[in-house]
Amino acid sequence: MYKSMCQPVSRILISILLLTGYINTAIADDDDLAVDKVKGPLSVMVLGSGGPIATAAGRASAGYLIFTDGKPRILMDVGGGTFQRVAKSGVNIKDLDIVLLSHLHIDHTGDLSPVIKTIYFHNNLAGTARRSPINIYGPAANGAPFPGTTIPQYPATSNYVNGFYAMPNGVERYLNIFAKAISRGASSFSYTANDLNSTVAGAVVQEVLNTADGLRISAIAVDHGPVPSLAFRIEYKGYSVVYSGDTGSRGPNMATIADNADLLIYDTAITDDLPANPLFHVLHTSPTRIGEVAAMAKVKKLVLSHITPVTGPRLEAVETVIRDQGYTGKIKKAKDLKVYNLGHHD
């Protein structure tokens, strides 16, 4: 029911945006919108399958939109370029109220404010008032300092988010009046910022949300070197999606949260040998470890994402290494605006 109403609204929004100059004809004329491919109880739309490097491949940085019963409900990471992918997808995100940040690197957070502003624009264009908060979850600070100092390298998510939006000192505090102004007082800007455990050693799966309609979100701290980082699991109507964020190869935490997942989206930034700089092998997962985790967790479908110039031309070799670890499930290579539907068979 939601989707049957949402699709016409999305197309009306595109028409309005075209007339007002917000989008171009090429987007408006595309009849094959990604939103039209969303079906079934739980779906993932890839907004960004790339990493932090701008390349001719044109991948946006990390971002994934989660739908329940066809309704866009959760945003997992929101790197650079995901704003444009939201626009081109045809999705109306006026009701989206959950944002999950795996960690606070720019290629996972860069389009947070543009997308949040779009939520209020989508409400305004649809003639609806928005008063419910946007709930943002991410890692707590883990205390890792800059070398030779006591200055922490990363803030807690709450400090990061408040630094943008909180009155009176947030750098984008204007959103507090903007939301009211464009809606003539009908909408109000509201958010919550929530810190989740980011200490890797001894970490257990922590519940983030468990809603009355059966949506369950959980998280676990994962090893991304000195960077406080999380992997997320989303469950709905018997189906599950797990997202690694960025994580190195060490420790059992990814296998723990990915246990029997229907879909596992994994950090595929490096090969076992490349790049030569060892830093990247601390921060990201080798194909060997991806295969070990996917096999151990008995994952049904593995999606290779966070694809970089290192792995982009080598994805077939990466897949071979994963298979060599005993993984027998399906392997997919992520593309921007690709949709994965769980619980629906075309």
Q: 167 exposed, middle or buried (CB, 10 Å; 0-12, 13-18, 19+)?
A: exposed
Pair of tokens at residue 6: 């949402």
Q: 39 exposed, middle or buried (CB, 10 Å; 0-12, 13-18, 19+)?
A: middle
Q: Residue 218's Cα: distance from chain center in Å?
A: 14
What pLDDT score was predicted for residue 50?
Answer: 98
What pLDDT score was predicted for residue 143?
Answer: 83
CATH superfamily of 2-342: Ribonuclease Z/Hydroxyacylglutathione hydrolase-like (3.60.15.10)
In order along its 346 residues, the chain shows pLDDT tens digits of 445 455 555 555 555 554 444 444 344 444 689 999 999 999 999 999 999 999 999 999 999 999 999 999 999 999 999 999 999 999 999 999 999 999 999 999 999 999 999 999 999 999 999 999 999 999 999 888 999 999 999 999 999 999 999 999 999 999 999 999 999 999 999 999 999 999 999 999 999 999 999 999 999 999 999 999 999 999 999 999 999 999 999 999 999 999 999 999 999 999 999 999 999 999 999 999 999 999 999 999 999 999 999 999 999 999 999 999 999 999 999 999 999 999 876 4
Domain ranges within the chain, ordered by starting residue? 2-342
Q: Which residues contact 165 (CB under 8 A, 6 or more apart)?
A: 172, 173, 175, 176, 189, 191
Helices 112-126, 175-182: crossing angle, 10 deg rounding? 20
Pair of tokens at residue 302: 């593995």
Helix H or strand E encompassing 339: strand 339-342
